[in-house]
């Protein structure tokens, strides 16, 4: 037994707007980074995912909640 499905969203966008103080969704970028660090192959190109998240955030005029995206942005 184990986890076969994990729910996340690019840049952590979404979540329940009615839940006061809710942090939103887990950023897919952070999930892929963690799984890769654990040696689990995801088949996801993290760099392309970060680029997609940046594109979506710019289009929506929103900030990413992805810690990986925030860290790589400062490099």
pLDDT tens readout for residues 40-61:
999 999 999 999 999 999 999 9
Query: Is residue 44 a contact partner of residue 26, using CB atoms and an 8 Å limit?
Result: no
Structural domain contains residue 52: yes
48 lies in some domain: yes
Residue 1 lies in a domain: no
- 2 domain-assigned: no
Q: What is the pLDDT of residue 73?
A: 72
- Report yes or no on 5 lying in a domain: no
**Residue for token digits 């993290």?**
46
Name which of 7, 57, 3, 56 is nearest 27 in CA terms: 7
| Per-residue model confidence as pLDDT tens digits over 12-33 | 998 776 777 777 789 999 999 9
For the annotated catalytic residues, the residue numbers are: 16
Inside any domain, residue 50: yes
- Overall domain count for the chain: 1
């Amino acid at each position: 037994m184990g986890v076969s499905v994990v729910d996340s969203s690019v840049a952590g966008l979404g979540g329940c707007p009615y839940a006061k103080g809710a942090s939103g969704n887990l950023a897919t970028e952070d999930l892929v980074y963690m799984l890769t660090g654990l040696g689990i192959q995801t088949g996801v190109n993290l760099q392309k995912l970060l680029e997609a998240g940046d594109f979506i955030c710019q289009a929506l005029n929103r900030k990413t909640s992805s810690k990986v995206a925030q860290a790589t942005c400062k490099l």
